Amino acid sequence: MKREIALGVLVVGGAVMMACAGAGDSEPMAEPAESQAAPPAEAPPENVVEVERLEDNLFVFRGGGGNSAAFITDNGVVLVDTKLAGWGQPLIDAIGELTPKPITTIINTHAHFDHVDGNVEFPATVEFVAHENTQRLMRENNPVRGLATEPRPSPFDGPDANGIPERTFTDTLTLGSDADRVELHYFGRSHTGGDAWVLFPALRVVHAGDAFPNKMVPIIDSNNGGSGVDYPQTLKKASDTITEVDRVITGHGPVMTRQDLSDYAAFVAGFVSDAQAAKAAGTSAADFIAGWEPSGPYAEYTKGPAERLAVYAQDIYDATP
Ligand SMILES: [Zn+2]
């Protein structure tokens, strides 16, 4: 606990020092009062990751996209997800504060830009690992359903680009052994068609990626293999299979419990079955979403933008006989 606090202060202290250095470059005495109050225009953006210690050898990093996790093994660091472009180096710096060991392995939970674009900032000695569909989807660069209609400029397009996973798996893959063991599981289509669940058995922790993003209606990216109709059974399979865990690292939210995962599976199942009932009743997808709210035990969950959800509801309609 003391170490966590110290790290927090360290990160904040670094940010303050950077801000002060920027301010020192200006000449406040010569400036009119209005511009003294404004932040210096030349200040660079500060990509500072926030560090949360789960164990002495397991850390979660927040900021700049999805939640990353670093597992420090005897042989080196296994990193899960690399955040947005420009956040790979800050991750490298933050991990360097925790251990002198090299980053040997990067696992990408899925192909979305806010989990993989930092890959290109890591050295070519790193082994990149992902589900076989994620490898393909990273190459295809399809826009995220409901968020964009055009593909982003891919950091993996250039001839020398580094960071497309070369090691892939279909159902399960085990890395390392004993206390250093990492298990990758694929339970089926949900958020995308290649969502890896990354289990640290010795620590009873799993990283769920965006299959369990937070207490919210998920993004269901049918452009990249995601499926609303399959989502509930995939979450149920994950919840039923990964029983030996106490903590679940979510894609974008706080660390949660196994009970939260099982609740989330029921929440998503409810959303999908409500959509299917609305279709059967002849309600349009837009009208269904306009009248739907998380309720009962899920009242605290976030609904998200109606326009985006109507797209996902329509996908569920189209996939339901
Ligand atoms: Zn995602």
pTM across the whole model: 0.86
Report d(CA 237, CA 244) in Å as an integer: 14
CB 150 within 8 A of CB 143: yes
3-class state of residue 28 by DSSP: helix
Residue 56 is predicted with a pLDDT of: 98
Rounded distance from Cα 109 to ligand 1 centre (Å): 9
Rounded distance from Cα 116 to ligand 1 centre (Å): 10
Residue 23 is predicted with a pLDDT of: 34
Rounded distance from Cα 111 to ligand 1 centre (Å): 7
Rounded distance from Cα 275 to ligand 1 centre (Å): 22
Rounded distance from Cα 66 to ligand 1 centre (Å): 8
CATH fold for domain 2-24+46-319: Metallo-beta-lactamase; Chain A (3.60.15)
Residue 159 is predicted with a pLDDT of: 73
First-to-last CA distance in the chain? 53
Rounded distance from Cα 105 to ligand 1 centre (Å): 20
CB 191 within 8 A of CB 214: no
Residue 5 is predicted with a pLDDT of: 39
Rounded distance from Cα 37 to ligand 1 centre (Å): 38
Rounded distance from Cα 212 to ligand 1 centre (Å): 10
Structure tokens at 62: 């927040």
Rounded distance from Cα 72 to ligand 1 centre (Å): 24
Residue 208 is predicted with a pLDDT of: 98
Report d(CA 24, CA 29) in Å as an integer: 11
Q: Estimate the crossing angle of helix 88-98 against helix 2-25, to 10 degrees.
A: 130
Rounded distance from Cα 144 to ligand 1 centre (Å): 8
Rounded distance from Cα 146 to ligand 1 centre (Å): 12
Residue 4 is predicted with a pLDDT of: 41
Residue at token pair 């009062």: 33
Residue 41 is predicted with a pLDDT of: 58
Rounded distance from Cα 56 to ligand 1 centre (Å): 28
Domain residue spans of the chain = 2-24+46-319
Report d(CA 130, CA 144) in Å as an integer: 18
Rounded distance from Cα 120 to ligand 1 centre (Å): 18
Residue type, 203: L
Output the tens digit of pLDDT for each of the chain's 321 residues: 334 433 433 343 333 333 333 333 333 333 344 444 555 556 556 899 999 999 999 999 999 999 999 999 999 999 999 999 999 999 999 999 999 999 999 999 999 999 999 999 999 999 999 999 999 999 999 999 999 999 999 999 877 778 999 999 999 999 999 999 999 999 999 999 999 999 999 999 999 999 999 999 999 999 999 999 999 999 999 999 999 999 999 999 999 999 999 999 999 999 999 999 999 999 999 999 999 999 999 999 999 999 999 999 999 999 999
3-class state of residue 173 by DSSP: strand
Residue 39 is predicted with a pLDDT of: 53
Rounded distance from Cα 90 to ligand 1 centre (Å): 20
Count CB neighbours of 199 within 10 A: 23
